Structure 1
Amino acid sequence: MATQMPAFVQRLFRPFTTSTRLSLNPEAPAQIPDGAQKCTVAAGCFWGVEHLFRKHFEGKGLVDAKVGYIGGDTSNPGYRAVCSGQTGHAESLQVTFDPSKVQYTTLLEFFYKMHDPTTRNRQGMDSGTQYRSAIFYHTPEQETQAKQITERAQKQWWKKGTITTEILEAGTWWNAEDYHQLYLHNNPGGYECPAHYVRDFPPLKDE
Structure 2
Amino acid sequence: MRRPFAALIAAAVLAQCAPAQAESVVKLPAAAVDPAVKAKRAVAVLAGGCFWGVEGVFSNVKGVVSVESGYHGGSKATAEYDQTSSGTTGHAESVRIVYDPSVVSYGTLLRILFSVVADPTLKNRQGPDSGTQYRAAIVPMDAAQRQVATAYLAQIGKGHYFKAPIVVPVESYKGFYRAEAYHQDFMRLHPDNGYIRRWDAPKLAALKRLYPEWVRATPAP
**Does TM, normalized by the shorter one, top 0.5?**
yes
Aligned residues with identical type, % of pairs: 36
Distance in 2 between residues matched to 1:143 and 1:185, nearest whole Å: 31
For 1:86, the equivalent position in structure 2 comes to: 88
Distance in 1 between residues matched to 2:14 and 2:94, nearest whole Å: 20
The structure 2 residue matched to 1:54, chosen from 54, 59, 63, is 59
The structure 1 residue matched to 2:43, chosen from 24, 38, 42, is 38
Give SS of 2:110's match: helix
The structure 2 residue matched to 1:131, chosen from 128, 134, 138, is 134
For 1:100, the equivalent position in structure 2 comes to: 102
Q: Structure 1 141/166 Cα, relative in aligned 2: closer, same or farther at 3 Å? A: same
Q: Please state how far the C-alpha of 1:10 moved relative to its aligned partner.
A: 8.1
Contact 2:76 2:177 in 1 (8 A): no
Q: Structure 1 82/76 Cα, relative in aligned 2: closer, same or farther at 3 Å? A: closer
Q: Please state how far the C-alpha of 1:129 moved relative to its aligned partner.
A: 0.2
1:180 pairs with 2:186: no
Distance in 2 between residues matched to 1:141 and 1:37, nearest whole Å: 12
The more displaced of 42-51 and 156-165 is 156-165
Instruction: Flag structure 1 segments of 5+ consecutive residues without an equivalent.
Output: 12-33, 203-207
For 2:20, the equivalent position in structure 1 comes to: none
For 1:118, the equivalent position in structure 2 comes to: 121
> Please, what TM-score do these two structures have when normalized by structure 2?
0.71
Contact 1:42 1:93 in 2 (8 A): yes
1:142 pairs with 2:133: no
Q: Please state how far the C-alpha of 1:74 moved relative to its aligned partner.
A: 4.8
Q: Structure 1 194/154 Cα, relative in aligned 2: closer, same or farther at 3 Å? A: farther
Q: Which has the higher helix share?
A: 2
Q: Structure 1 119/75 Cα, relative in aligned 2: closer, same or farther at 3 Å? A: same
Contact 2:49 2:93 in 1 (8 A): yes
Distance in 2 between residues matched to 1:177 and 1:157, nearest whole Å: 38
Contact 2:78 2:84 in 1 (8 A): no
Distance in 2 between residues matched to 1:148 and 1:103, nearest whole Å: 14
Give SS of 2:171's match: strand
Contact 2:84 2:91 in 1 (8 A): yes
For 2:11, the equivalent position in structure 1 comes to: 7
Equivalenced residues, count:
174
Q: Please state how far the C-alpha of 1:159 moved relative to its aligned partner.
A: 3.6
Give SS of 1:75's match: helix
For 1:158, the equivalent position in structure 2 comes to: 161
Contact 1:68 1:173 in 2 (8 A): yes
> Please, what TM-score do these two structures have when normalized by structure 1?
0.76
